[in-house]
Amino acid sequence: MTETQNKGAVKMEQHILLVDDEAGILDMLEIVLKKEGFSQIKKAQSGKEALQIIQDFKPQLIVLDIMLPDISGLELCMELRKETDASILFLTAKTSDYDKLVGFAMGGDDYITKPFNPLEVVARIKVQLRHQRIYSAKEQASILEFEDFSINKDSCEVKHNEKVIELTAMEYSLLLFFAEHPNRIFTIAQLYENVWGQLILGDEKTVVMHISKIRKKMEPDKDKPKYIHNIRGLGYKFIPHKKGEEQK
């Protein structure tokens, strides 16, 4: 049964480094991770060994014990941050909020206290790796394309049917915010806070006016909006009509 499970498991190529002075913990985590499909795993029982490994191994994620024989895991985290942007998940017996805050301040991304459930560690690892994939995809998606227009985030250029549209800085910022958060309803106050960067103080006309101007410049029929919809009593929602997608 175990052999069948292993054959059916999807191999994951992300590199994971496990750092702990207890060999038993390292072996246990390695076994669980391999059962979940992770095949690229290295182990270190000291800070020195960890620093040597990352020179060639280049991990995407590091599970790091704070209590190591040669150096504090917190100090090691700072050294690792000079070499890698890998997600760092601390394992420690220290449970106070202060210890956790120090761990985050030193460059950690998550924190699990001992004793722990190895399946929880694996779940946290998957969350961190998923966040990396999402962030990487967003970084790569410098051009957002829709049925009638596109947004080039590198040049801040908006084209409608291949013709450049002149937008003010705030109009562009508002349109980009909508485009990056499709199918979600935002109140006027939420739009103002996210795009203008401050709390709205009673005057909602600023947001409404900017939406109206965007519609005039971009919507095929400004009286029957295609992209930016007013949801009565709730706010506004951007509906992404993607190229080549059939809209329901």
**Please, which residues have CB within 8 angstroms of residue 193's CB and are 6 or more apart in sequence?**
199, 200
- Residue 155 located in a structural domain: yes
CATH code of the domain in which 214 resides: 1.10.10.10
Q: What is the pLDDT of residues 81-136, one digit of tens each?
A: 888 888 899 988 776 777 777 877 878 888 888 888 888 889 889 888 887 776 66
- Count up the domains in the chain and report the number: 2
- Residue 244 located in a structural domain: no
Q: Do 35 and 99 sit in the same domain of this protein?
A: yes
Q: How many CA atoms lie within 13 A of 1 on its CB side?
A: 0
- Residue 245 located in a structural domain: no
In order of 93, 112, 185, 240, the CA distances from 65 in angstroms are 9, 10, 42, 45
Q: Are 29 and 65 in contact (CB under 8 A)?
A: no
99 lies in which domain range? 2-140
Q: What is the pLDDT of residues 27-85, one digit of tens each?
A: 999 999 999 999 899 999 999 999 999 999 989 999 999 989 999 999 999 999 888 88
Domain end (from 140, 162, 181): 140
Q: Do 180 and 124 sit in the same domain of this protein?
A: no
Q: How many CA atoms lie within 13 A of 243 on its CB side?
A: 9
- pLDDT confidence band for 2 (50 / 70 / 90): very low
Q: Are 126 and 63 in contact (CB under 8 A)?
A: no
Q: Using CA atoms, how far apart are residues 8 and 169, in angstroms rounded to an integer?
A: 51
Q: Do 112 and 15 sit in the same domain of this protein?
A: yes
Domain end (from 99, 116, 140): 140
For the record, the structure tokens of 96 come out as: 């106070």
CATH code of the domain in which 80 resides: 3.40.50.2300
Q: Do 129 and 186 sit in the same domain of this protein?
A: no
Domain end (from 140, 167, 201): 140
Which H helix or E strand runs over 123? helix 118-140
- Residue 180 located in a structural domain: yes
Q: Which pLDDT score is estimated for 63? A: 94
Q: Do 89 and 166 sit in the same domain of this protein?
A: no
